[in-house]
Amino acid sequence: MIAERIDGKAFAQSLRERVGRLAAEFACKAGRKAGLAVVLVGEDQASQVYVRSKGKATLEANMASFEHRLPADVSGAELLALVERLNVDPAVDGILVQLPLPGYLDEQAVISAISPDKDVDGFHVINAGRLSVGQTGFVPCTPLGCMMMLTDRLGDLSGLEAVVIGRSNIVGKPMAQLLLDANATVTIAHSRTKNLPDVVRRADIVVAAVGRPEMVRKDWIKPGATVIDVGINRVAAAEEGKTRLVGDVAFDEVSEVAGAITPVPGGVGPMTIAVLLRNTLVAAYRNAGIALAGDDL
């Protein structure tokens, strides 16, 4: 059997189109566009690329994009003052401070300064807490995107065995929480887990989010399992001096046993921006006090 390839790019495109239509409706109803502010500190190459593509995607989805670029030596006080201005700006529904920040800045303090109701990344402790106790809030984009692809493929996840490899605040922990809320039986595995291949072999659903190139092998996978690969690792390519992207899963060999699998690139990655737009639109409807028709976004 060869696994079905879960096309994250197509899935993300279709979500972006839905969000774009509802954002146009929002603009009519509210008399203004939904707005996303993105803050970038410093010159990090990868972050610049992300921020540019987030801005472009925001405009394409019929929303307003506000980009704030601050120098790499900006003071913590200046950054916090900008976040405070965005918190009270009625044109701004969502605020995203691009991470990582330069080392001298306190990331947790900056995230805590964002209004939880504009925290479309879902990184604020209030939103982590809301997710943990089942209250409405914002859920981090990458795990929410993974969840959308899983429910699209599998429908009801009740009683399924899910193994999440990785325990980060941004992916592993919220992913486990979402799976638990969907009534899966959830295991969080990590670098100290004993007999990791044996643990993963139990899983009907595997979510790999560790940042180790091609760590998950064919013999770790129960036949027919659904495998979601969150890893984005740059490794040396066969051709001298070139690099290529690989996930945390050995795609070719795992495809021989899994039921379905997300590729890298083109799997989870494109979903992250699509869900960011979705969260921003939801924030706009909530902030404007307008009901969002249907909750299938």
Q: Which residues bind ligand GUN (CB under 6 A)?
A: 96-99, 121, 141, 272
Q: Which tokens in the block code for residue 24? A: 């146009």
Of all residues in the shown chain, the one whose CB is closest to ligand GUN is 99
DSSP structure class, residue 202: T
Asked whether the bond before 100 is cis by omega within 30 degrees of 0, the reply is: yes
Shortest Cβ distance from residue 97 to ligand GUN (Å)? Answer: 6
Could you give the CA distance from residue 96 to residue 99 in angstroms, rounded to a whole number?
9
Nearer to ligand GUN, 40 or 160 (CB): 40
Q: Nearest 5°: CA angle at 281, between 118 and 277?
A: 90
Shortest Cβ distance from residue 233 to ligand GUN (Å)? Answer: 14
Shortest Cβ distance from residue 82 to ligand GUN (Å)? Answer: 14
Nearer to ligand GUN, 232 or 288 (CB): 232
Burial of 289 (0-12, 13-18, 19+ CB in 10 A): exposed
The contacts of residue 266 (CB under 8 Å, 6+ apart) are 7, 8, 9
Task: Please indicate whether residue 45 is annotated as part of the active site.
Answer: no
**Which residue, chain included where needed, has tokens 């405070």?**
84
Length of the chain: 297
Could you give the CA distance from residue 112 to residue 64 in angstroms, rounded to a whole number?
24
Nearer to ligand GUN, 127 or 255 (CB): 127
Shortest Cβ distance from residue 141 to ligand GUN (Å)? Answer: 5
110 within 8 A of 98, measured Cβ to Cβ: no
Strands (E), 119-257: 161-165, 185-189, 205-208, 226-229, 233-236, 243-246
Nearer to ligand GUN, 216 or 276 (CB): 276
Could you give the CA distance from residue 242 to residue 117 in angstroms, rounded to a whole number?
43
Nearer to ligand GUN, 99 or 245 (CB): 99
Could you give the CA distance from residue 255 to residue 15 in angstroms, rounded to a whole number?
26
Shortest Cβ distance from residue 142 to ligand GUN (Å)? Answer: 6
Task: Please indicate whether residue 229 is annotated as part of the active site.
Answer: no
Nearer to ligand GUN, 49 or 235 (CB): 49
Shortest Cβ distance from residue 60 to ligand GUN (Å)? Answer: 18
- Active-site hit among 98, 119, 177, 204: 98
Task: Please indicate whether residue 93 is annotated as part of the active site.
Answer: no
Backbone angles phi, psi at 236, to 5 degrees: -65, 135
- Active-site hit among 93, 117, 119, 121: 121
Which positions are annotated as active-site residues?
54, 98, 121
